[in-house]
């Protein structure tokens, strides 16, 4: 295994960590909806892709820089999230997990196929110009892309903002009260239906932020939703349900696993069985690490909520 010495370990680890920031951003919306109303949104990945198409429409219509489309897409998705929860998802909440699961599953299929009918199956990508390729050199011959650094920084700021919102504001206190005991919170004068709708609005606002960054970094198509849901889900479960910074760690572990999968695990296996290296090893290794963590620590690394 002498070729392992040629692997640029520092670079592999840094790239993995930075992509983990994007997964943590994906996971925020999923985690928030589960934490506050115990709703697992199967359509989460498709909503990410929907946001990416919305950003594309905005950019094509106005010619603005893709990053500026955040100012349009985030408020739009907040409103959509509020209405989705108020008009639809609130009616599914109850003792049985079946209705919310199957309704969001239905929404997932509807969004995917609508996008397919409207935009076709072509892959798309937003062009952010020079920013995409710019990089800075670190000591030890390691170069880091500016854009991945920006994504990671946005993830840190988002998690910080969410922490402030949940633990330092009146609204956050109401969220936590409803999460702990919805009935008692309602007795104390909290309007749960409104609160849940706000929570979904906030969840989708963060999702929109993640989606714009995602649409610049990676190409997407109408069928890209499910895999993003799975990445978000893996980050949440690895980190532990309900733990904000655990989610970041979950995202980073997933990102590093994928990075190692692409540059170390895949090539090793291919050498052993003598086949071509496939790009799928990134995703496959991430899944396998997720399953291993699930076996060793079923509640994740920093569990907060028990359902």
Residues at the contact surface with other proteins, assessed by CB under 8 A: 40, 42, 88, 91-92, 97-103, 105-107, 109-110, 113-114, 116-117, 226-227, 229-230, 233-234, 237, 269, 273, 275, 278, 280-281, 283-284, 287-288, 290-291, 294-295, 298, 307
The least distance separating other proteins from the CB of residue 106, rounded to whole angstroms, comes to 4
Closer residue to other proteins, CB minimum distance, 18 or 256: 256
**The tokens of 306 are what?**
């028990």
Cβ of residue 248: shortest distance to other proteins, in angstroms? 19
Cα R_g (the chain), whole angstroms:
20
* Least CB distance to other proteins at residue 242 (A): 12
Min. distance of Cβ 179 from other proteins in angstroms? 16
- The nearer residue to other proteins, 85 or 234, going by C-beta atoms, is 234
> For other proteins, which is the closer residue by CB, 212 or 232?
232
| Token pair of 302 as six digits | 């920093």
Compute CA distances 2 → 5, 6, 7, 12, 264, whole Å.
6, 8, 10, 17, 12
Nearer Cβ to other proteins, position 98 or 134? 98
What gap in Å lies between CA 23 and CA 2, rounded to an integer?
32
Shortest separation between residue 245's beta carbon and other proteins, angstroms: 20
DSSP assignment of 156-177 equals HHHHHHHHHHHHHSHHHHHHHH
CB of 116 to other proteins, least distance (A): 6
CA distances from 256 to 13, 229, 250, 252, 281 (A): 6, 18, 10, 6, 13
Q: Which one, 148 or 239, has the nearer CB to other proteins?
A: 239
| Letter string b/e over residues 15-35, b meaning 16 or more CB atoms within 10 A of that residue's CB | bbbbbbbbbbbbbbbbbbbbb
Give the CB-side neighbour count of residue 191, counting CA atoms within 13 A: 5
* Nearest to other proteins of 18, 230 (CB atom): 230
Question: Beta strand 142-145 with 135-138: parallel, antiparallel or unpaired?
Answer: antiparallel
């Amino acid at each position: 295994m002498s070729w392992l010495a040629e692997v640029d370990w520092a670079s592999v680890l840094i790239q993995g960590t930075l992509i983990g920031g994007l997964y943590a951003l994906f996971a925020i919306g999923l985690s928030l909806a589960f934490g506050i109303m115990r709703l697992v949104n199967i359509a989460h990945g498709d909503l990410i892709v929907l946001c990416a198409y919305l950003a594309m429409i905005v950019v094509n219509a106005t010619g603005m820089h893709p990053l500026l489309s955040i100012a349009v897409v985030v408020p739009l998705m907040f409103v959509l999230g509020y209405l989705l929860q108020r008009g639809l998802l609130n009616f599914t909440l109850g003792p049985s997990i079946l209705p919310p699961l199957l309704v969001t599953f239905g929404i997932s299929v509807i969004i995917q196929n609508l996008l397919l009918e409207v935009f076709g199956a072509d892959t798309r990508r937003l062009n952010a110009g020079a920013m995409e390729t710019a990089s800075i050199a670190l000591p030890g011959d390691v170069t880091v892309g500016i854009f991945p650094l920006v994504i990671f920084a946005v993830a840190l700021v988002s998690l910080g903002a969410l922490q402030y919102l949940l633990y330092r504001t009146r609204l956050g206190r109401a969220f936590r009260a409803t999460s702990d005991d919805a009935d008692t919170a309602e007795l104390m004068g909290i309007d749960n239906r409104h609160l849940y709708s706000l929570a979904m609005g906030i969840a989708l606002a963060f999702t929109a932020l993640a989606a714009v960054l995602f649409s610049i970094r990676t190409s997407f198509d109408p069928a890209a939703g499910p895999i993003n849901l799975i990445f978000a889900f893996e980050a949440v479960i690895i980190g532990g349900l309900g733990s904000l910074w655990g989610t970041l760690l979950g995202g980073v572990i997933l990102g590093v696993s994928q990075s190692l999968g692409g540059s170390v695990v895949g090539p090793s296996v291919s050498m052993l069985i003598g086949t071509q290296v496939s790009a799928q090893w990134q995703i496959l290794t991430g899944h396998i690490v997720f399953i291993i963590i699930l076996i060793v620590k079923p509640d994740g690394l920093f569990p907060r909520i028990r359902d």
